Amino acid sequence: MGYYVIAHDGNRYGPADIETLQQWVREGRVAPNTTLEDEFTGTQVRASLLPELSHLFPSTAPPPTDATRQPPPMPRSAGTPSGEATAALVFGILGLICCPVFSIASLILGKQEMNRIDQGMSAVEGRGLAQAGYILGIVSLVIWVLVITVWVLAFGTMWHEASRSQPPFSPR
């Protein structure tokens, strides 16, 4: 009984008998995931599943499936939050009380730091600071937009009323 070796590019080689296939496995020319095709039936099978070859491949555990994969490990506690988490909170407070530019900075820094914490690249202790900075950035931006909108509407209305109540200029 012989088998064709199906290469990754789709080319077929052979047919080769079991002894030849065993030699090719020893030489590394046939891998466990190499597709073999029975020359008579056309049935395809992975080389590692063929009983005559399976003992030649080192046994390995199957790759983990999505159901068996473990979530990434939580980062080890560094004891102190990162500077970016602290900066996000400080900028959030500054954005709330003095300047909307700080609000944007706190929004960006807070989100970036939360992503780094989720990826295990930063200390978990900074999550609360980063999240507070992110939320303060959102809140302060909303407040600043409302304040500027009210200011523009108020002064626009006052300017419009002032220009309507003055008599036209008349030379003497």
pLDDT at site 20:
87
Q: What is the CATH number of domain 2-54?
A: 3.30.1490.40
pLDDT band at 168 (very low <50, low <70, confident <90, very high): low
What residue segments make up the domains of the chain, in order of their start?
Answer: 2-54, 83-164
140-150 residue pLDDT tens? 999 999 999 99
On whether the pTM is more than 0.95, the answer is no
pLDDT at site 91:
94
Dihedral sign for Cα atoms in the order 42, 48, 51, 52: positive
The span from the CA of 25 to the CA of 149, in Å, is 75
